[in-house]
Structure 1
Amino acid sequence: MGGAVSAGEDNDDLIDNLKEAYYIRSDLVERAFRAIDRADYYLDEYRDNAYKDLAWRHGNIHLSAPCIYSEVMEALDLCPGLSFINLGSGTGYLSTMVGLILGPFGVNHGIELHTDVIEYAYQRLDCFIKTSDSFDRFEFCEPSFVVGNCLEVPPESRQYDRVYCGAGVQKEHEDYMKNLLKVGGILVMPLEEKLTKITRIGPNSWETKKIISVSFAPLALPKHSTNGKPKTVPLRESPLHRYLNMEILV
């Protein structure tokens, strides 16, 4: 999915094209997109393709098309201090943009199936923190990534203000995804080949909006452990939240 806007010469050119095509519609989302060079999440030998409105995959490493990420960022309706989980967090590109908006008191979790992709995401995150001018211009909510299957979040885990799933969700898993949300929260996911925005407006009530047609690889189903019980994913707190909790305990 992609190719909806013209190719750019650099990151700013790409963002200009996404704005012109009305994929980026808010100043907040525009600032986040301009702050992070998409090419920094490509392997060096593929950087020439970074500013095309196309998805990219190399082995397990995957980036969705810029027009998809634009629609996702707009639909999430982000603001500082929210809690967010990225199911299938991949390279960390989206999670890092989200972190620029959430600020220092947000929560920014990611779950990714592949260990090599987690390692790649942390390399990209470290590079952003150490080398990007944007890191000094924003109050950043640093993402925390863990390896696991996003259908194995333990039921006692927190609910989130915002949830994004970067894989096609089968209809039978729709309720599982919804239950990750707090009341008032927003879930964005590919559901039945439509990028779908679901808002939890009450304990048992939801508002659903179809955004655009998409084609995503389906969610990988969980594998059971040897004793027949499903595994669970241990979600980490962000460094700041660990520090604040220590201060409270002291």
Structure 2
Amino acid sequence: MDTNNNSYQHVFDFPFDICLHIYWWQRQRSFSWSSPLTPAKMGGAVSAGEDNDELIDNLKEAHYIRSELVEQAFRAIDRADYYLEEFRDNAYKDLAWRHGNIHLSAPCIYSEVMEALDLQPGLSFLNLGSGTGYLSTMVGLILGPFGVNHGVELHADVIEYAYQRLEFFIKTSDSFDKFEFCEPSFVVGNCLEITPESRQYDRVYCGAGVQKEHEDYMKNLLKVGGILVLPLEEKLTKITRTGYNTWETKKIIAVSFAPLVLPKNKDNGKTKIVPLPAMFEVRTLQDLARISIRHTLKKTVGLQQGRGGGAARGGGTGAPKSGPRFKRRRMHRRRMDSVLLANKHMFLNRMLPGPMDSNNNCDAAEEERADEGGVGGGTAEEEEEEEEEREGGELRSEPTVNVLREKILGLPLPEPLKMYLLYYREK
């Protein structure tokens, strides 16, 4: 007893402040590992997908993507197209990726950013640290041809890569024809060196961690009523400018971003000024005609398909819905389950003695019954599967036709003009 009492006394003699520090250290450790916000820091908040659509399905299921407009933009652009070829296998994981200067944030982060920006057609957008252009391109699908879409990137090689990916999207993706696009423009420079007298934007996003002392600098890039989304003090933060000197701030999720690179002074002590592209460039008559013709044809295609009862099925203006994909996946799993159950049934029958046929085979009759009843089916589940197949057959049987492209190619116009209307697309 004395020994135990001495040991307890030894514990309580331990300095109280050190015990308190140990206690809080343990609490902090347990919180950092168990908090639901932790996965969003570096991604990994949702399970990996087999393709871009399945990744978007997972982001929707986890409520990172909540609006139809954002969903359509995400489905229109294959994330893997922004990866180098040797790393494409990792494209549909909810993880950030970096190779040299090329960097992509985790899909769950981009989802939260797109939702927080509350994008609408015709707005002006500034992307600070625009990187590969993946986010800017998705934003451009929502802004439409009369919006403004600018990006500032520190590394010239990354801007070159971004323009390559942008050209690839415009020339090869059928999704391009489902939207009216605001093409992004990128400039090289440090986003903390933007011309002080430069114009303000409706929406601003910064893709690097912002130090507290630069918060006001970022706010001043916004118009009244504008929205700024940035990583501030380890939280993805949404700041709305409600008046000339008034702001509303909302913390979204915990994140971990590399901090902004501070400007380097020149020999004369002055920093380099980054000139942004012109806010509103005067469009040529040719460009305006192309926008108008494509818009009119899209409306015509939409009306025709609406009268035919299949507005989004033939590659029209709407983005594909996620419902049929879920249905196909469930059907595939059910079919696999039926096969596994049938095989299990056959295995158990082999373990039990049964009647012999004329060839001393006890398995043949059972296998035939399993093939007829277990896989080929007459059960309610399989009837439901057949009904789903009939309902979704049109979507699964043929690849989507780009109706707008077919419409343009069928116009009685010279070939070069058709190619111009198609943005000289290769596909």
TM-score interval w.r.t. the shorter chain?
Answer: over 0.9
Note the 1:1-250 alignment, pairs <5 A.
1-237=42-278, 241-243=281-283
| SS at 1:30 equivalent | helix
After superposition, give the CA deviation of every residue in 1:160-187 in whole Å (9 maximum; x if it has no partner). Answer: 0000000000000000000000000000
After superposition, give the CA deviation of every residue in 1:128-159 in whole Å (9 maximum; x if it has no partner). Answer: 11111111111000000010000011011110
After superposition, give the CA deviation of every residue in 1:46-104 in whole Å (9 maximum; x if it has no partner). Answer: 00000000000000000000000000000000000000000000000000000000001
Aligned to 2:301: none
Give the distance between the partners of 1:141 and 1:163, measured in 2 at CA.
16
AA aligned opposite 1:115: A
The 10-residue stretch of structure 1 (59-68 or 129-138) with the greater mean CA deviation from structure 2: 129-138
AA aligned opposite 2:84: L
CA drift at 1:197: 0.1
CA drift at 1:237: 3.3
Question: Are 1:166 and 1:189, in contact at CA under 8 Å, matched by a contact in 2?
Answer: yes
AA aligned opposite 2:132: T
Give the distance between the partners of 1:211 and 1:103, measured in 2 at CA.
27
| SS at 1:190 equivalent | strand
CA drift at 1:241: 2.4
Give the distance between the partners of 1:15 and 1:122, measured in 2 at CA.
24
Give the distance between the partners of 1:42 and 1:157, measured in 2 at CA.
33
- 5+ residue gaps, structure 2: 1-41, 288-427
Q: Which has the higher strand share?
A: 1
Question: Are 1:144 and 1:237, in contact at CA under 8 Å, matched by a contact in 2?
Answer: no
AA aligned opposite 2:117: L
After superposition, give the CA deviation of every residue in 1:199-232 in whole Å (9 maximum; x if it has no partner). Answer: 0000000000000000000000011222211111
Number of residue pairs matched?
Answer: 245
Give the distance between the partners of 1:115 and 1:100, measured in 2 at CA.
24
Higher relative contact order (CA 8 A, sep 6+): 1
Give the distance between the partners of 2:284 and 2:234, measured in 1 at CA.
41
AA aligned opposite 1:173: H
Aligned to 2:411: none
CA drift at 1:244: 5.9
CA drift at 1:242: 3.9
The 10-residue stretch of structure 1 (226-235 or 204-213) with the greater mean CA deviation from structure 2: 226-235
AA aligned opposite 2:232: L
- Output the TM-score relative to the length of structure 2: 0.56
| SS at 1:241 equivalent | coil
